[in-house]
Amino acid sequence: MNATRSQFWDDLVEDLGDPELLRAYLVESVRIETIDRLVNSLDEARLASNLSKADLARAISEEPSVVRRLLSPSHRNPTIGTLAEVAAALGMRVTLEPLPPEEQATVTESLRTGSTGNPEQLARDILAKRELAAAR
């Protein structure tokens, strides 16, 4: 993040003091990161298998547009069922994994309690993860 503060940043930090907004921000941040990670992994597996998007669509009995939308960065809102079907067609399965301990301490506890001890640091951590994911 830039060293200069912005109105957006100040508003975000202030908003994270509201339990409802904090929870909404955290849930959406985790959702975006999780879907991006799953879809990117599936697309890497598709490429490694030398499958076209159309081939993958045929494997799960869907129209090619379904797979194109799934793998498009601007249209990512898949169902878990679609992710599981695509994963199976690529010889994979969707699984759950525990959050790293530092994320459990910030994300999970903040979701459960509706508060965070340091909203500015929480916002920094989430934005840094987004920037890292975007750079990949």
Task: Give pLDDT tens digits for 73-126.
Answer: 877 788 899 999 999 999 999 999 998 898 888 889 899 999 988 888 888 888
Task: Report d(CA 96, CA 23) in Å as an integer.
Answer: 21
Per-residue pLDDT, 67: 93
pLDDT at 3: 46
d(CA 5, CA 8): 8
Question: What is the reported pTM?
Answer: 0.80
Model pLDDT for residues 3-33, shown as the tens digit of each residue:
456 888 888 888 898 999 999 999 998 898 8
CA distances from 110 to 9, 10, 37, 123, 131 (A): 19, 19, 22, 12, 22
What single-letter amino acid sits at 136? Answer: R
pLDDT, position 54: 96
Per CATH, the architecture of 7-135 is what? Orthogonal Bundle (1.10)
Q: Give residue-wise pLDDT tens across range 47-87.
A: 999 999 999 999 999 999 999 999 988 777 888 999 999 99
